[in-house]
Chains A and B, each alone.
Chain A
Amino acid sequence: MVKRFPASALIGGGFILLLILVFMLLPLAIVAAASVTAGSFLTFPPQGFSLRWYGEVLASTAYLGAARTSLILATAVTASSVVIGTAAAIALHRRVLPGTSVLAALFLSPLVLPTIIFGIGLLIVASIYFGGPSLVALWVGHTVITVPYIVRTVAAVLSDADPQIEEAARTMGARPLQRLWFVVLPQARAGIIAGGFFAFNVSFDEAVVALFLRSPGVETLPMRIYGQLEFSPTPAVAAVSTLMILLTIVLIVAIERFLGLRRVAG
């Protein structure tokens, strides 16, 4: 058998790959390492090992408050964008409406339009018409940027589903609402769950729209971390960041279980 890849390609390729992986994971690994330092300053490599900075974070009302805001926000965003996004994905999948492809493009456009432009637009609208930014404005903004994820994941599973099943349900006497409930929603289930995790993750981690919609008394975790980074961060920031990385890993595993990342990424 002829070797598909020459040895030089295997070794060189392996080496390049290793470098790339180190490069990709380096910042996350450094943050995690810096968080367990026993010292008082942010250093790499860490000085000794201790969890004192985690203790510090868990005792800090500012961090706990930000975490609470982030959790409430991400939960509300997940709920609203799952409902709105799933309904839209079903309508788009059916292709009954005129201009379905234009509508589909509209629903995916927040994914490609830079968040900074959306952020400033939202800030202007909130200020002119709604008396300034607020948590509600942030909720609406995050819903806009997470709806495309739901539309994508739900549309992906629906297009894999057997279209004859819904027809079969019709011939068996299922009326529109019954078909939605008994056929379409179960078919979309994996996409809804995976999209929901996505939406939660995006909202929980989102910094740009949050920074634009900064308002008194509203601070999410990414906003707080950004504020700390502008001055001189302590190892406590590293501890919070590490917790956020862990949450992301948990969500990725969940998405992977329900849908498979390749389908979402591709």
Chain B
Amino acid sequence: MPHSLRPAERGAGAFGESILLIGPGAALLIGAFLFPVGQILVLSIVPPEEGLSIWTNFARFFEDDYYLRVAWRTFRLSVIITLVTAMIGFPLAYVVARTPRVVGYTLLLLTVLPLMTSVVVRTFGWIIALGRGGPVADLLSLAGLGARDATLLHTETGIVIAMVQVLLPFMTLTTLGVISTIHPHLEEASRTMGAGFYRTLRHVVLPLSVPGLVSGSLLVFALSISSFVTPNLVGGVRLPVMAGAIYQQATSTLDWNFAAAQSTLLLAAVLGLLIPYLALTRRRHG
């Protein structure tokens, strides 16, 4: 029966009222969000000198070994970070979904707490932990994996460890969203049909969680290639990533056109990942 509120039935006043309500927000987002992002696109095709091609800034990026190495490092690290997060995030999400509410809830809270603390504070913790004499470096030397007085600061391993911690909540929450829609009866049915716990996990839960793992991976990868605070502080100047390089050019060398071109490339990569991510999550919610 047509019970729900129908747009046309709210009366003529509702339209004007909605315009008034959404107006300030729409103006803010168009003026202070879409316009600045559009400005990047415009600047990226403005050549440094008149008469040059609109692709000049992009050509500079692709012709310089340095930037290509930075881009390759960014890509490689992000792939590793995404894989590690998925491997840790799946069991964590499963446990949160299947343990008693209180336990799962506490776990969720403890996962979200780091997400909500400032990125500089979290990174600071890793600087101490990974640095000389820090617990992680000590642990590694105890296990015979590193020299005494070793440090993971300014190493790619260090960047991966710190970034995984920063991004794990995104993977866990996205995967949890999918796992919590898997009815426990499916697992029980699988058990009654002779599959053990691990085989049930492998053949029932994991395949059904794939949409969550895929969208979580897309999100984590997108966030990973575009973050700069953690890689900059942990990796230092010797291991620049793309976002860090953009930050340097925008704030120190003030080479905006080139920074805009790199941002455009990053934006294209991120949109290329986020659009499938949004499509995946929307289908699930819709």
**A–B direct touch, CB within 8 Å, in complex?**
yes
Q: A-side interface residues toward B, CB under 8 Å? A: 2, 4-6, 9, 13, 16-17, 20-21, 23-31, 34, 42-44, 83-85, 87-88, 90-92, 94-97, 103, 105-107, 109-110, 112-118, 120-125, 128, 140-141, 143-144, 147, 151, 163, 166-167, 176, 180, 201, 204-208, 211-212, 214, 221-222, 225-226, 229-230, 233, 237-238, 241, 244-245, 248-249, 251-252, 256, 261-262, 265-266
Q: How far is the CA of A20 from the CA of B92 in the complex (A)?
A: 8
Indicate if the CB atoms of B176 and A266 lie closer than 8 Å: yes
In the assembled complex, B243 has its CB within 8 A of some CB on chain A: yes
Among A43, A225, A249, the residue within 8 A (CB) of B120 is: A225
B273 to chain A, nearest CB (A): 10
Q: Closest A-chain residue to B94, C-beta based?
A: A13
Indicate if the CB atoms of B263 and A117 lie closer than 8 Å: yes
Chain A residue contacts of B10, Cβ below 8 A: 94, 96
Indicate if the CB atoms of B36 and A88 lie closer than 8 Å: no
Chain A residue contacts of B102, Cβ below 8 A: none
B171 to chain A, nearest CB (A): 12
Q: Per-residue 0/1 for B85-112: is the Cβ within 8 Å of any A Cβ (1 yes, 0 no)?
A: 0001001100100000000010111111
Q: How far is the CA of A123 from the CA of B248 in the complex (A)?
A: 13
In the assembled complex, B267 has its CB within 8 A of some CB on chain A: yes
In the assembled complex, B182 has its CB within 8 A of some CB on chain A: no
Among A25, A97, A109, A115, the residue within 8 A (CB) of B18 is: A97
Indicate if the CB atoms of B7 and A31 lie closer than 8 Å: no
Q: How far is the CA of A180 from the CA of B16 in the complex (A)?
A: 14
Chain B residue contacts of A94, Cβ below 8 A: 5, 7, 10, 14, 18
With known contacts A20-B88, A113-B270, A262-B105, A31–B133 Cβ distance under 8 A: no
Indicate if the CB atoms of B28 and A252 lie closer than 8 Å: no
In the assembled complex, B82 has its CB within 8 A of some CB on chain A: no
Indicate if the CB atoms of B32 and A141 lie closer than 8 Å: yes
Give residues 176-196 of B contacting A (CB, 8 Å): 176-177, 191, 196
In the assembled complex, B25 has its CB within 8 A of some CB on chain A: yes
Q: How far is the CA of A20 from the CA of B125 in the complex (A)?
A: 16
